[in-house]
């Protein structure tokens, strides 16, 4: 297995943190970002990964992330666009300003940091970009205008990048998790061992990265096998 140099955004907790831990345990180098300094520092100490306090909505932060990854790891092979959050409200009571703010993270921040990484991947004619969307971006639901809209956008952007970057040996894939037991949206564990965990999504991401380079996962929805079963 080839050792990879990963950049993971929004990784101070949840899926991102689980990915940092698994990637380091597998022998990969990792630079990760988060907005909570205490969590970033704790995860860096625990894993030996390079942690940065950075916000993907800030272009200067994104450039600093790229520059730090290159300086500390010698380059970037894999970018995992994990940073994101949910704002939900019914139409008729939707705060459009809050929706725009969320899109700055979920969509425009994702585009901005990728825009800065892609020239490096093209120059080495190799790499992976993994965008974390959601099954909410595959089917609409009440209160989902803002959040689902942002994840539909991520799926469409992923398809555009696939068309552009496949000739450069750069794989672009999209992972769409169903409900995951993390602190996403301020909700901690759901007390249901049958639902997905952050470790499950992290393992799925790494499985795609570890595939032979000629193999591309374009999009993958991830569900729990039997989330309604009660133990």
Cα dihedral sign, 187-14-89-53: positive
Dump the DSSP string for 67-133: HHHHHHHSS-SEEEE---------TTS--HHHHHHHHIIIIIIHHHHHHHHHHHHHHHT-EEEEEE-
Q: Does 184 have pLDDT greater than 70?
A: no
Give 65-119 pLDDT, tens digit per residue: 999 999 999 999 999 999 999 999 999 999 999 999 999 999 999 999 999 999 9
Q: Which pLDDT score, from 0 to 100, does residue 186 have? A: 52
Q: String of b and e for 147-158 (b: at least 16 CB within 10 Å)?
A: bbbbbbbbbebb
* 230 in a structural domain: no
Q: Which pLDDT score, from 0 to 100, does residue 191 have? A: 64
* 69 in a structural domain: yes
What range does the domain containing 193 cover?
5-222
Q: Which pLDDT score, from 0 to 100, does residue 183 have? A: 57
Domain count across the chain: 1
* 231 in a structural domain: no
* 139 in a structural domain: yes
Residue 213 parent element (H or E)? none
* 229 in a structural domain: no
**pTM of the predicted model as reported, rounded to 2 decimal places:** 0.94
Distance CA 18, CA 26 (A): 12
The CATH number of residue 152's host domain is 3.40.50.720
Q: Which pLDDT score, from 0 to 100, does residue 182 have? A: 64
Banded model confidence at residue 188, pLDDT cuts 50, 70, 90: low
* 109 in a structural domain: yes
- The residue among 179 and 125 whose pLDDT is bigger is 125
- Paired tokens of 79: 């970018």
* 228 in a structural domain: no
Q: Which pLDDT score, from 0 to 100, does residue 2 have? A: 84
* 227 in a structural domain: no
Share of the chain above pLDDT 70, in %: 94
The average confidence (pLDDT) of the chain is 94
Distance CA 13, CA 82 (A): 11
Give 126-176 pLDDT, tens digit per residue: 999 999 999 999 999 999 999 999 999 999 999 999 999 999 999 999 999
Per DSSP bridges, beta strands 50-53 and 29-34 are parallel
Q: Which pLDDT score, from 0 to 100, does residue 185 have? A: 53
Residues with a known catalytic role: 147
Distance CA 149, CA 230 (A): 32
């Amino acid at each position: 297995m080839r050792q990879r140099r990963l950049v993971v955004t929004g990784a101070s907790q949840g899926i991102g943190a689980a990915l940092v831990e698994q990637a380091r345990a597998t022998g990969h180098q990792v630079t990760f970002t988060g907005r909570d300094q205490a969590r970033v520092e704790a995860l860096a100490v625990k894993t030996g990964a390079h942690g940065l306090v950075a916000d993907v909505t800030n272009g200067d932060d994104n450039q600093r992330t790229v520059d730090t990854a290159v300086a500390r790891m010698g380059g970037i092979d894999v970018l995992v666009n994990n940073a994101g959050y949910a704002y939900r409200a019914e139409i008729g009571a939707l705060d459009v300003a809050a929706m725009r703010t969320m899109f700055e993270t979920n969509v425009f921040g994702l585009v901005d940091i990728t825009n800065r990484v892609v020239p490096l991947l093209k120059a080495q004619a190799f790499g992976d970009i993994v965008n974390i969307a959601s099954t909410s971006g595959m089917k609409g639901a009440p209160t989902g205008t803002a959040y689902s809209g942002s994840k539909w956008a991520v799926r469409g952007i992923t398809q555009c990048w696939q068309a552009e970057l496949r000739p450069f040996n750069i794989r672009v894939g999209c992972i769409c998790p169903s409900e995951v037991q993390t602190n996403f949206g301020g909700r901690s564990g759901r007390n249901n061992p049958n639902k997905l965990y952050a470790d499950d999504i992290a393992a799925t991401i790494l499985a795609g990265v570890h595939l032979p380079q000629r193999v591309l996962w374009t999009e993958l929805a991830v569900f729990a096998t039997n989330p309604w079963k009660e133990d």
